[in-house]
Amino acid sequence: MKAHTRETQATMTPEKSLQYLKEGNVRFQNNLKANRNLLEQVNDTSDGQFPFATILSCIDSRVSAELVFDQGLGDIFSVRIAGNFVNEDILGSMEFACKLAGTKLIVVLGHTSCGAIKGACDDAKLGNLTRMLSKIKPAVKAVSEPADESKRTSANLDFVDAVSAKNIELTIARIHEESPVLSDMEKNGQIMIVGAMYDINTGEVKFIE
Omega of the bond prior to 146 within 30 degrees of 0, cis?
yes
**Residue 121 labelled as part of a binding site:** no
**Residue 4 labelled as part of a binding site:** no
pTM to 2 decimal places: 0.94
Cβ proximity of 170 and 83 under 8 Å? no
Pairing state between β 192-198 and 76-80: unpaired
Q: What is the mean pLDDT of the chain?
A: 95
**Residue 60 labelled as part of a binding site:** yes
DSSP secondary structure letter of residue 24: H
**Residue 161 labelled as part of a binding site:** no
43 pLDDT band (50/70/90 cuts)?
A: confident
21 pLDDT band (50/70/90 cuts)?
A: very high
Cβ proximity of 207 and 194 under 8 Å? yes
Average pLDDT for 67-86: 95
Helices of type H across the chain: 6-10, 14-29, 38-44, 65-68, 88-95, 115-121, 127-134, 137-142, 157-178, 180-187
- pLDDT at res. 2: 83
Closest among 163, 174, 173 to 197, alpha carbons compared? 163
Domains of the chain: 6-208 (3.40.1050.10)
The better pLDDT of the pair 124, 2 is held by 124
